[in-house]
Amino acid sequence: MLSKAQNKYIRSLSQQKYRKEHNVFIAEGDKIVKEWLQADDQIQMIVAVAAWAEQNKALINKHSEATLHVVNEQELESISTLQTPNQVLLVVHRPAQPQLDSIKGWCIALDNLQDPGNMGTIIRIADWFGIDHVVCSPNSADAYNPKVIQAAMGGHLRVQIHIADLHQFFGSTTLPVIAATLGGKNVYEMPKMQEGIIVIGNESKGIAQDIIDLAAHKVTIPRRGGAESLNAAVSAGILCSLLIS
């Protein structure tokens, strides 16, 4: 079981300031947790109901650095960030910030993206297309928000997450910057490319103009119907499919 202090600590991690202070994040649910336990990431705490802990002893034993807490369903519900709590929750040490100069090939950059579900889905899209890096502007949603972790479905294990000023990043790389804008060139007329940075902007405002000005290519997905705009994550998926060679 958990002490009152441990219960309070885990519940506090639903807030970004405490995740940042302790340099950890929460991963929940059978599938996601099993992926993390199979990896080499450092785990701080494993909180599970008895049946799950018994069935997954081998995975748990891989992480001698972690403390195991067997709880009942009510205790798990009290600390869960999910509407319907699953059988297990992890507190995971956040990986070290990777270096921007390690970025080669393809990358997705997020300019002031605010919705955690969109961010998690974009990380999952990057994982699907074999993109190793997602760079988030400092004013974007927290990439380790529990909703981002859920939507990414383990993508954080294979995609390196960078938090960086996009002006500085674009100024330091030779990769072509491709900005998704409503007034850009029809993306279907663009040739496939070997490398580049696909920039996705804020859900309501799009990409900031000073970021657009740094782009070598401005592209748009042509509209055929009456929708005002496309969801940011949907746009990212379409652009990856059309541009990546």
Average pLDDT of 143-161?
97
The DSSP secondary structure of 170-205, one letter per residue, reads: HHH--SPEEEEEEEEEEGGGSPPBSSEEEEE-BTTT
Res 85 pLDDT > 80 = no
Nearest to 175 by CA among 163, 193, 159: 193
In this prediction, residue 235 has a pLDDT band, given cuts at 50, 70 and 90, of very high
Whole-angstrom Cα distance, residue 95 to residue 33? Answer: 16
Q: Rounded to 10 degrees, what is the CA torsion of 39, 41, 44, 46?
A: -20
Q: What is the pTM of this model?
A: 0.95
Please report how many Cα atoms fall inside a 13 Å half-sphere around the Cα of residue 49, on the Cβ side. Answer: 16
The whole-number pLDDT of residue 86 equals: 85
Domain shared by 79 and 128, yes or no:
no
> Which residue, 49, 67, 93, sits at the end of a domain?
93
Domain shared by 130 and 205, yes or no:
yes
User: Residue 39 belongs to a domain with what CATH number?
Assistant: 3.30.1330.30
The whole-number pLDDT of residue 40 equals: 85
Domain shared by 77 and 127, yes or no:
no
Res 73 pLDDT > 90 = yes
Domain shared by 82 and 141, yes or no:
no
Res 177 pLDDT > 80 = yes
Q: Which is it for the CA torsion 220, 206, 212, 121, positive or negative?
A: negative
The percent of residues above 90 in pLDDT, for the chain, comes to: 93
Domain shared by 150 and 43, yes or no:
no
Mean pLDDT across the chain, nearest whole number?
A: 96
Domain shared by 58 and 146, yes or no:
no
> Which residue, 47, 63, 93, sits at the end of a domain?
93
Domain shared by 56 and 89, yes or no:
yes
> Which residue, 93, 109, 125, sits at the end of a domain?
93
Average pLDDT of 62-84?
94
Domain shared by 146 and 220, yes or no:
yes
Average pLDDT of 93-119?
95
The percent of residues above 70 in pLDDT, for the chain, comes to: 100
The whole-number pLDDT of residue 41 equals: 84
Name the residue range of residue 173's domain: 100-243
Residue 166 CB contacts under 8 Å (≥ 6 apart), including other chains: 109, 111, 135, 137, 199, 211, 214
In this prediction, residue 181 has a pLDDT band, given cuts at 50, 70 and 90, of very high
Res 14 pLDDT > 90 = yes
The whole-number pLDDT of residue 102 equals: 86
Average pLDDT of 207-233?
95
What's the total number of domains in the chain?
2
Q: Tokens representing 117?
A: 């579900």
Report the 10 Å Cβ neighbour count for 231: 14
The whole-number pLDDT of residue 155 equals: 97
Domain shared by 109 and 78, yes or no:
no
Domain shared by 21 and 55, yes or no:
yes
Res 212 pLDDT > 80 = yes
The whole-number pLDDT of residue 145 equals: 98
